[in-house]
Amino acid sequence: MLQLINKILDLSRIEADQIEAYPEDINVLAVVNSCAKMAGLKAKKAGITLLIDMSDPLPALRTDRLHMKQIIVNLL
């Protein structure tokens, strides 16, 4: 229930242009791997194998790390 409330609050902040961002250069592969570890544990319990294949080096991305993590976790 708390997650649902937090998501609704996040959407409200987005719609009101009140989201604070703290951009920094991030290593995309490191962030994706970090999120995959979290999602991988949940997937394993459900009998799902999560495979991340990002062998090509990616350039650094200037963005808010927490928001980027939230997007990746939502996609996973």
Residue-wise pLDDT for 47-60, tens only, equals 998 888 887 778 88
Q: What is the pLDDT of residue 13?
A: 64
Q: What is the pLDDT of residue 56?
A: 75
Cβ neighbours, 10 Å, residue 48 = 10
Residue-wise pLDDT for 4-21, tens only, equals 676 676 666 666 666 777
What b/e readout covers 11-35, taking b as 16+ CB neighbours within 10 angstroms?
eeeeeeeeeeeeeeebebeebbeeb
Model confidence at 24: pLDDT above 90 = yes
Per-domain boundaries in the chain: 21-75
The whole-model pTM stands at: 0.69
Whether 31 contacts 71, CB under 8 Å? no
Q: What is the pLDDT of residue 14?
A: 61
Rounded distance, CA 71 to CA 69, Å? Answer: 5
Encoding tokens for residue 38? 């979290």
Q: Provide the pLDDT confidence category of residue 40 given band limits of 50, 70 and 90.
A: confident
